[in-house]
Amino acid sequence: MGHLGTWVALALFILAASVIAGYATHRASPGPSAWAAGISPLVLGATLLAVLWYSLETRRLVRLQRDAAEITDHPWLHVAAWPSSEALVYDPATQLKGLVAHLPIQNVGRTPALLRDISVTHELEPGSGECHFATGGDLNPRALAPGQGFTATIGELHYRSQEPPIVYVDVSIGYQTIFGATGLVVLALSIRKPRLEEP
């Protein structure tokens, strides 16, 4: 019960007002019913106070229960710590090699999650030479049921050197819960791969 001092002061004020009203009524017309008429505001005030306190406590408990349920039933997204990558076919005509990076996302919570968007920004390592990174991502909303996964393509790298350059990517995954709340998972990753063997 919050603000106990306020409630105690209010109860004392009602008690004092009832005693004064009872005494004043008794002085105006002495008789046994005068005290009863004076004390009735005390009973009414105490009842009002109890009803008010009960409604506030019930509201607080409902709010706490709703918050606890939302945390317990929140969809938790599990993202692999590092993107997986696979080699693209070597093109002898352009002498470009490449790889494509994927990021598996899985809902490990107890309720569905609506993936609203997956946005990717990147930065190539300085001195990368001749290379190009096509940024991936996904702007199509999709629902992930509990236990369901989705693999997002976060980028495709084409390069000419023997060793692939390192690409630093920032991935933002925006999602929404069934309660209407929104969430954001932000990852800072780097994409690298050992030397790609030419055919």
Residue 197 lies in a domain: no
Amino acid at residue number 194: P
Q: Mark whether 12 and 57 lie in a shared domain.
A: yes
pLDDT score, position 39: 65
Residue 22 lies in a domain: yes
CA distance 131 to 27: 100
Comparing 70 with 178, the larger pLDDT belongs to 178
Q: Are 122 and 137 in contact (CB under 8 A)?
A: no
Q: Mark whether 56 and 141 lie in a shared domain.
A: no
Mean pLDDT of 45-72: 80
Question: Residue 24's domain spans which residues?
Answer: 4-72
Q: Mark whether 86 and 183 lie in a shared domain.
A: yes
Residue 196 lies in a domain: no
pLDDT score, position 82: 66
CA distance 130 to 96: 9
pLDDT score, position 128: 75
pLDDT > 70? residue 38: no
How many domains does one find in the chain? 2
pLDDT score, position 180: 81
pLDDT score, position 25: 65
Write out the two tokens for 114: 């609506």
To the nearest whole number, what is the mean pLDDT of the chain? 77
Q: Mark whether 99 and 174 lie in a shared domain.
A: yes
Token look-up 């002498």 returns 95
CA distances from 91 to 8, 127, 130 (A): 83, 23, 15
**What is the residue-wise DSSP string for 101-143?**
EEEEEEE-SSS-EEEEEEEEEEEEPTT--SEEEEE--B-S-EE
Residue 146 lies in a domain: yes
Last residue of a domain, one of 51, 72, 93: 72
Q: Mark whether 130 and 171 lie in a shared domain.
A: yes
Greatest Cα-to-Cα distance within the chain, rounded to the nearest angstrom: 115
pTM here? 0.59
Residue 178 lies in a domain: yes
Residue 198 lies in a domain: no
